[in-house]
Structure 1
Amino acid sequence: MIKQEFDEIASKEFVQGGISIGASSFRMVKSYYMPFLYDKLIINMITDLGRSMFLIGQLGFISIFLSQDLVQVDPGIFKFINNSITWPSFFANAFRDIRGYIWIPFFPSLAITYTILTFNVFAKGLQNLTKQNVSYF
């Protein structure tokens, strides 16, 4: 998506003018490309935050966490231990807890769902805002 935007901007006459006056590649990116791409990059970043939150929640079910330590249990036997208190860490025993203590996986999943929804709504609002204020010279 960003590559298509770069290609579209590269075909504009003012970019060709910048190339013809000998602007450096840093100057081309800073002055000719980035003013048109800031909003799209920020919207993509916020949308990707929601996607990565979803992925982190999924990895919690199979006990893969972002912050783990390798601890020696017995001589020659090592085990990964989670050393953080995060929402996905409550999913490690979700299959066992769902039968008895349902609130343990329920409230972290509710918080993750709310966070993902918030990121998506925020990105959609920014996208609508940038569509209204678009002006190309």
Structure 2
Amino acid sequence: MSRIVIGTRETLLTIVGIVLVRTIVSLILGVGSFYTRAGAVLLKVWEAVFSFMPTIIIVILLLAVPPIMFSPNRLLLSALIIALAETGRLAEFIRSKMVGLSYETYMEAAIASGGSRLGMFRRYYRPMIGRELGGILAREAGRVMFLLAQLGVVGVFINQMFMSQEIRGTYEAVVTSDAWPVLLLDLQKDLRMAQWIPVSALAFITFAIISFQLLADGLEKRRAERLGSRG
């Protein structure tokens, strides 16, 4: 329990950092793909690269690349890889929302009256994205928490260090973290000898994922109620 409490801050800060990077890049890519042909092509290529296999497999393979595995900045590189792995999916969601809004009747009237791209973005698209942003952040936080838990089960952590063992000619993975997924490192052994360790970690991880999901649902419900009251 002490390790779970100590690791709460690190776990949540890691999630927040990954979600912020993913959201910022997705906003740039999504908006760019809506307005420019080059952006649309980039988004298609991005999705093709990162969607040909499950996200967890892509992340594991990229983290196993030697320059990343042994980099002194492995923590930052690992967080960046996890953030970018699902950027295409989120960018496509943002683009589709903008496409849907562009077919609204009042948008057609605004275009017919000579509205500029910048003016249309400021007046219509940016407020729409802002209303969606809270739900997006909460849902992505749940996704990241679930992915980190999956990586923990297979013994992959974003803040590992690999120490050289010259006598054996191998490297030993040393975990320098107290984050919740680390408690799943010896999952098979602990399930036989110390079940409370993985059970406690999984309970808090599950609670966090459900909380993020409920928060996203609540924000979306509140947004819908506000729009309904305005209508």
Task: Give the aligned partner of residue 111 of structure 2.
Answer: 16
Shift of 1:39: 1.9
Query: Which of 125, 142, 155 is residue 50 of structure 1 equivalent to?
Result: 142
Task: Give the aligned partner of residue 78 of structure 1.
Answer: 171
Shift of 1:40: 1.5
1:35 corresponds to 2:130:
no
CA contact (8 A) 1:47 1:119 kept: yes
Identity %: 25
Shift of 1:14: 5.5
Which TM-score applies when normalising by structure 1? 0.85
Structure with higher strand content: 1
Which TM-score applies when normalising by structure 2? 0.52
Task: Give the aligned partner of residue 63 of structure 1.
Answer: 155
SS at match of 2:227: coil
1:132 corresponds to 2:229:
no
- Separation in structure 2 between the aligned mates of residue 17 and residue 66 of structure 1, nearest angstrom: 51
| 1:27-75 deviation digits (Å, cap 9, x = unpaired) | 5433331112212222122111101101111110111011111211225
What letter corresponds to residue 125 of structure 1 in structure 2?
G
- Separation in structure 1 between the aligned mates of residue 164 and residue 128 of structure 2, nearest angstrom: 53
Which consecutive residues of structure 1, in runs of 5 or more, have no partner in the other structure? none
Task: Give the aligned partner of residue 186 of structure 2.
Answer: 93
Shift of 1:96: 0.5
* CA RMSD across the alignment: 2.2
- Separation in structure 2 between the aligned mates of residue 31 and residue 77 of structure 1, nearest angstrom: 59
**Structure whose alpha-carbon radius of gyration is higher:** 1
| 1:54-112 deviation digits (Å, cap 9, x = unpaired) | 11111101110111112112254223321111111010101001011111111111110
SS at match of 1:90: helix
What letter corresponds to residue 37 of structure 1 in structure 2?
I
- Separation in structure 1 between the aligned mates of residue 205 and residue 162 of structure 2, nearest angstrom: 27
> Structure 1 residues 70 and 29 mapped into 2: Cα distance closer, same or farther (>3 Å)?
farther
Between 56-65 and 41-50, report the one with greater CA deviation.
Answer: 41-50
